[in-house]
Amino acid sequence: MDHTVEVPPIQPEQEWANAWTHGFSAVLWCVVGAWLVRSSAGEPGLAIACGVYAASVVTTFACSTLSHVFLEQPWLDRFRACDQAAIYLMIIGTYTPIAYAYSPAGWRIPLLTAMWVAALAGFFNKAVRMHRLHSISVVSYLLLGWLPAIPLIRNVPVELAYAMFIGGVLYSLGTIFLMNDRRAPYLHAVWHLMVLSASLVHAIGIAWYVVEPIQNSAL
């Protein structure tokens, strides 16, 4: 007896929902990122860290949008590779201003270097080598998302830890929709909205408990 489950094809309206959700996210994050950089302008190092953070998030949302707009080869695989690769940058980009502000004494440069080496290795593997392009590297995303918290958790304010935890949970729960997005319509768009929600929770935490304290101490 054949137990094969037929996977329904993705309809054009679903792809447009996927494109619009992250297209909107990219535009919104241009505003959020500009505000974070401007708010941290009094501390050049933090402003650079926030700029890297914002650029990584905007890049990820933009690549995701393009991967759902250009559906013909070879553009589909190229943008899909960039989309999957940029997630590594977004994960570590989010940690960058936090590591800048709250790394243990003497560990700022080594920690930032280690995080970015890991992110760039993942990026290269997906964007250049196009390794396992038609599968999602959820395990590596989750590991990269949670492991850098270990050396930082004792130093960050508890409120920031809560914000990062809530955002991390939203990302992690969102992967359930990502892994099952062919089982029902619009689950991939739900994943996109979970990613946007998590990114905004992280942005609020960074604005309130990274940017604001450093700016106040500089006054």
pLDDT in tens, 17-76: 999 999 999 999 999 999 999 999 989 999 999 999 999 999 999 999 999 998 888 888
Give the total residue count for the chain.
Answer: 219
Q: Tell the burial category of 164 from Cβ atoms under 10 Å away from its Cβ (0-12, 13-18, 19+).
A: buried
Task: Give me 85's structure tokens.
Answer: 């690769």
The per-residue pLDDT for range 105-118, each reduced to its tens digit, is 899 999 999 999 99
The binding site comprises: 68, 188, 192
- Quote the pLDDT of residue 6: 44
Contact 34, 210 (CB under 8 A): no
Q: Which residues are annotated as a binding site for Zn(2+)?
A: 68, 188, 192
- In whole angstroms, what separates CA 18 from the centre of its chain? 16
Domain spans, the chain: 12-218
pTM over 0.85: yes
**CA dihedral sign, ordered 116, 196, 201, 175:** negative
Q: Hey, what CATH class is 12-218 in?
A: mainly alpha
Amino acid at 16: W
